Amino acid sequence: MITTIDAALSRSHDVENAIAVSPGSHRMLTGDRPTGDLHIGHYLSSLRNRVALQDQGVESFVLIADYQVITDRESVGRIQDNTLSLVADYLAAGIDPEKSTVFAHSAVPSLNQLMLPFLSLVTQSELQRNPTVKDELRASGRPLSGLLLTYPVHQAADLLFCKANVVPVGRDQLPHIEQARVIARRFNTRFAGGRSVFPEPVALINDQQLILGVDGHKMSKTRGNVIRLGATEDETAAVIRKARTDSEAGITYEPERRPEVANLLNIASGFSGIAPQDLADSLGSAGGKALKDAVTEAVNEGLRDHRAQRARFAGDPAYLREVLQEGNSRAAALGDRTLAEVRHAMGMSY
């Protein structure tokens, strides 16, 4: 597994350089499950990067992975609201529907049909040893459903239906990208006589500091440690006021020894652009209250524009649906072309 990660890191690095030279020859796809509102972790570690890639001229697909919601839970929940809320955050962050295709995978029949030949290209043991699936199974506290076991194959269809070659993701998604690469390779060999019908997508690994919740644990709604992008300034202040620090006097940036303080400094840094070490130096002998005030100001300041835009878009659900429908039909047209190629390669165009 070490060598796999090293290889993935080196590919990520290479593709980053290749994008800088020739953005137009890359196609990015990434996405989110519509399970709840996005928070500052999403903003700092993925939304901003997507917008930067789009603006660099990389052809971009932003997927709302609605079928993936039911991999680890019994019902779809507030899926309409969650989906429109994602679209509002995308647009507010600067995703431009003229340049990027925003779509839901449930709305693209050809994408879903690719799952069938793809399932023939993976083995049960490959699926069962996927570490991310195992983690999600454990966290779900439920029996393993057929969909949870096979969703990495569906995720391969997300990537390959549009022949995406760049996938900005966190490290937890690497097993899925690796599986998609294997599927692309096997498809080309077994069904296409070695012709490259599908590219092997490359993960663009996000190696920024992982942003944790204000209590130093993974951000999660149930822990109440989340700063939602859509929160008001007062709600933001209230969450940060409750943040855990430590009993030491003075502010220093020591991620190993003082993880909660370091996480707050990382959050402030993400929004202010000032290095966490410099922030710590300027706070110096000030205490936890001064740190929290500084974090609150950085977050509220850094999100002011996003929040104003977000509120404007959220107030116009008809427009959000229009953006999604337009994206869905663009994605469907592209998927139809890929599926036609697949049928042809497999001798199934009648």
Query: Considering the rule CB under 6 A, would residue 72 count as an interface residue with ligand TRP?
Result: no
Between 33 and 258, name the residue whose CB sits nearer to ligand TRP.
Answer: 33
Sequence-separated contacts (24+) of 71-77 with Cβ below 8 Å: 71/136, 71/145, 71/147, 71/148, 71/151, 72/136, 72/137, 72/139, 72/140, 72/142, 72/148, 73/140, 73/142, 74/142, 77/35
Q: Which is nearer to ligand TRP, 30 or 188 (CB)?
A: 30
> Could you tell me the smallest distance in angstroms from the CB atom of residue 153 to ligand TRP?
11
User: Which burial class, exposed, middle or buried, applies to 261 when counting CB atoms under 10 A from its CB (0-12, 13-18, 19+)?
Assistant: buried
Contact 234, 196 (CB under 8 A): no
The residue within the footprint of ligand TRP, chosen from 31, 213, 302, 335 (CB under 6 A), is 31
From residue 222, give the alpha-carbon distance in Å to each of 84, 213, 243: 22, 11, 15
**Binding residues among 147-166 for ligand TRP as defined by CB under 6 A:** 155, 158-159
Least Cα distance to 61 among 23, 26, 89, 13 occurs for: 26
With binding defined as CB under 6 A, does residue 30 bind ligand TRP?
yes
- Which residue from 68, 83, 150, 179 is in contact with ligand TRP, where contact means CB under 6 A? 68
Bridge-based pairing of strands 202-205 and 166-169 is parallel
Number of residues in contact with ligand TRP under rule CB under 6 A: 14
Q: Nearest to ligand TRP by Cβ — which residue?
A: 65
Which residue in the set 33, 50, 258, 306 belongs to the binding site for ligand TRP (CB under 6 A)?
Answer: 33
Q: Closest Cα partner for 178 from 131, 227, 218?
A: 131
Among 8, 58, 84, 167, binds ligand TRP (CB under 6 A): 167
* Choice between 32 and 89, CB closer to ligand TRP: 32
Q: Which of 114, 162, 169, 239 binds ligand TRP (CB under 6 A)?
A: 169
Residue closer to ligand TRP by CB (options 160, 268) is: 160
Give yes or no for residue 87 binding ligand TRP (CB under 6 A): no
The contact set with ligand TRP (CB under 6 A) reads 29-33, 63, 65, 68, 155, 158-159, 167, 169, 173
